[in-house]
Structure 1
Amino acid sequence: MAKMPKTEAERLLADVAGEYVFWCHDGRVLRSMRDLQSALASMTEDTFYYHANDDKNDFSN
């Protein structure tokens, strides 16, 4: 696996602009990949399945 340049990694891990935040069903607002990682680790199954199910996957573009 090739290493990613540090500047690219920092860009991908940085907070996004307000219009791109992820509004979670449980009320949390996720602004970065780190926020997403933390949210997924503590998210209830109900909240997860609200966003990811047979009909949709809000975590993926």
Structure 2
Amino acid sequence: PTYISKPRATRSVRTVDLGGPGAWTSGRLTAEQSQQVREAETAQAGAAQAGREVEPARAVGD
């Protein structure tokens, strides 16, 4: 058999960026939802540059 003399195949390592937009969703985002995520990230980045912290939006009942 030829597979005995062949070198081993290397395994690929898959990395998942959990910090990216939509990484924590269980489904697909619509274009509108993606835009909202980008706007929120931009607002947080701007607040961080200004030296103040943005309080995350809370769910109803929290």
Same fold (TM over 0.5): no
The structure with higher relative contact order (CA 8 Å, sep 6+) is 1
User: Whose strand proportion is higher, 1 or 2?
Assistant: 1
TM-score (norm 1): 0.31
User: Whose helix proportion is higher, 1 or 2?
Assistant: 1
TM-score (norm 2): 0.31
